[in-house]
């Protein structure tokens, strides 16, 4: 049987803290559609974590959370600027175009998943033409698809010219916990010009849940109707909110993310193949030919070939040092 330990960070179970909070929330009757006390408490914790007076909603799907956010920032005849390998560009089956009614995506180059500043500047310099979709928002991802980190300053440098144009900014934080554990100060997001953040719960070790954090209050108007129409306003909101309580109230989310990051570093240290990208967070990307990958799969370890041709190994809160070492041994025997 294949082992999915390193296939993704969504193959792990939920953390004890997240699950326990969900169990604790399963008590008594509660009002619906996110108006319950659990959702309120979780939203307060998210705000405290970000040190920000923002609107917070808890939804089921990261794909939908991203797509709904982008639809809130752009009109159908406009486009989102994003790294060409961003999740929204390559892994969401065109969800931004579906939720955004034909919304375009403009893929930008950049090493190791970080958008190249000049590439962004060039895209912003393009004149508006009626025959193409001009940008109206920038989407950033931290930590990135290639397991690298943006420092707040680096994000600020990308965001500044975008805001100068009057465009919106979305931050895909599916792995924001890993970024935080790697040193990214979450309390600085509020001052960077981010309009909407998707603060990921799922990949951080929760049952499926994501927090949509709306910094730009004007966007919050009728947001519940927007979510409801999009199938993302849960009637039983407490089940999406509770895991955030369990994970945020004493910082478990960051301890778990730090562990995942450390496991990635450990794996990188054992790796007999060339590591292609800096290992800032919880992913290790290596150069491996097809024959070797096939043998790896045969030996029972599952890993994906990624968009840049490297093979990706993801660590999670549940990855153990023993498993990392076992994988290291297996890889050594293939190299």
Q: Give the integer Cα–Cα distance in Å for 206 and 242.
A: 10
Per-residue contact string for residues 11-50; x = within reach of a copy of itself by CB under 8 A: xxxx----x--xx--xxxxxxxx-----------------
Q: Give the integer Cα–Cα distance in Å for 227 and 158.
A: 29
**Is residue 132 a contact point for a copy of itself (CB under 8 A)?**
yes
Residue 128, judged by CB atoms within 10 A of its CB (0-12, 13-18, 19+), counts as: exposed
**Is residue 101 a contact point for a copy of itself (CB under 8 A)?**
yes
| Pairing state between β 134-141 and 78-83 | parallel
The C-alpha angle 42, 68, 92, rounded to 5 degrees, equals: 105
Per-residue contact string for residues 218-237; x = within reach of a copy of itself by CB under 8 A: ----x-xxxxxxxxxxxxx-
Q: Nearer Cβ to a copy of itself, position 62 or 168?
A: 62
Q: Nearer Cβ to a copy of itself, position 82 or 192?
A: 82
Stretch in the footprint of a copy of itself (CB under 8 A) among 95-103, 119-127, 182-190, 260-268: 95-103
Q: Nearer Cβ to a copy of itself, position 76 or 183?
A: 76
The residue count for the chain: 335
Residue 82 backbone dihedrals phi, psi, to 5 degrees: -155, 160
Q: Nearer Cβ to a copy of itself, position 8 or 292?
A: 8
Q: Nearer Cβ to a copy of itself, position 98 or 278?
A: 98
**Is residue 10 a contact point for a copy of itself (CB under 8 A)?**
yes
Among 5, 145, 172, 280, binds a copy of itself (CB under 8 A): 5
Q: Nearer Cβ to a copy of itself, position 14 or 108?
A: 14
Q: Nearer Cβ to a copy of itself, position 66 or 261?
A: 66
**Is residue 92 a contact point for a copy of itself (CB under 8 A)?**
yes
Stretch in the footprint of a copy of itself (CB under 8 A) among 57-65, 140-148, 275-283, 326-334: 57-65
Residues with Cβ within 8 Å of residue 242, at least 6 apart in sequence: 18, 21, 22, 24, 25, 38, 42
- Helical spans, DSSP H, in the chain: 16-25, 37-50, 62-73, 87-90, 95-99, 117-125, 152-164, 176-181, 223-229, 238-248, 252-270, 290-298, 321-334
Among 44, 93, 165, 309, binds a copy of itself (CB under 8 A): 93
Q: Give the integer Cα–Cα distance in Å for 190 and 169.
A: 12
User: Which positions from 134 through 163 interact with a copy of itself, judged by CB under 8 A?
Assistant: 134
User: Which positions from 241 through 300 interact with a copy of itself, judged by CB under 8 A?
Assistant: none
User: In whole angstroms, how close is the CB of 31 to a copy of itself at the nearest point?
Assistant: 5
Helix axes 238-248, 252-270, angle to 10 degrees: 70
The C-alpha angle 18, 21, 23, rounded to 5 degrees, equals: 110
User: Which positions from 186 through 215 interact with a copy of itself, judged by CB under 8 A?
Assistant: 202, 207-208
Are 176 and 200 contacting, i.e. CB atoms less than 8 angstroms apart?
A: yes
User: In whole angstroms, how close is the CB of 330 to a copy of itself at the nearest point?
Assistant: 16
Q: Which DSSP helix (H) or strand (E) runs through 211?
A: strand 210-214
Stretch in the footprint of a copy of itself (CB under 8 A) among 67-75, 109-117, 151-159, 247-255: 67-75
Among 7, 151, 270, 275, binds a copy of itself (CB under 8 A): 7
């Amino acid at each position: 049987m294949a082992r999915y330990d390193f296939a993704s960070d969504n193959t792990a179970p939920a953390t004890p803290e997240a699950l326990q909070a969900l169990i604790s929330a399963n008590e008594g009757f509660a009002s619906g559609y996110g108006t319950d006390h659990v959702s309120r408490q979780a939203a307060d914790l998210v705000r405290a974590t970000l040190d920000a007076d923002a609107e917070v909603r808890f939804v089921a799907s990261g794909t939908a959370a991203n797509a709904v956010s982008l639809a809130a920032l752009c009109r159908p005849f406009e486009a989102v600027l994003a790294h060409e390998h961003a999740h929204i560009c390559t892994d969401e089956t065109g969800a931004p175009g579906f939720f955004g009614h034909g919304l375009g995506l403009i893929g930008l180059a950049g090493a190791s998943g970080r958008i190249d500043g000049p590439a962004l500047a060039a895209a912003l310099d393009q004149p508006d033409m009626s025959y193409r979709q001009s940008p109206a928002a920038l989407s950033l991802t931290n930590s990135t698809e290639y397991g690298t980190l943006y420092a707040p300053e680096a994000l600020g440098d990308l965001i500044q010219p975008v805001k100068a144009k009057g465009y919106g900014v979305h931050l895909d934080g599916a792995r924001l916990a890993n970024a935080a554990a790697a040193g990214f100060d979450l309390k600085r997001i509020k001052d960077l010009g981010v309009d909407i953040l998707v603060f990921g719960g799922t990949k951080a070790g929760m049952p499926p849940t994501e927090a949509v954090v709306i910094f730009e209050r004007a966007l919050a108007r009728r947001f519940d109707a927007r979510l409801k129409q999009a199938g993302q306003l849960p009637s039983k909101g407490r089940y999406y909110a509770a895991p955030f309580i369990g994970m945020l109230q004493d910082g478990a989310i960051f301890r778990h993310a730090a562990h995942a990051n450390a496991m990635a570093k450990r794996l990188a240290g054992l790796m007999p193949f060339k590591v292609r990208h800096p290992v800032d967070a919880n992913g290790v990307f290596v150069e491996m030919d097809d024959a070797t990958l096939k043998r790896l799969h045969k030996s029972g370890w599952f890993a994906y070939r990624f968009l840049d041709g490297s093979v990706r190994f993801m660590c999670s809160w549940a990855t153990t040092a023993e498993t990392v070492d076992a994988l290291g041994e297996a890889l050594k025997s293939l190299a």
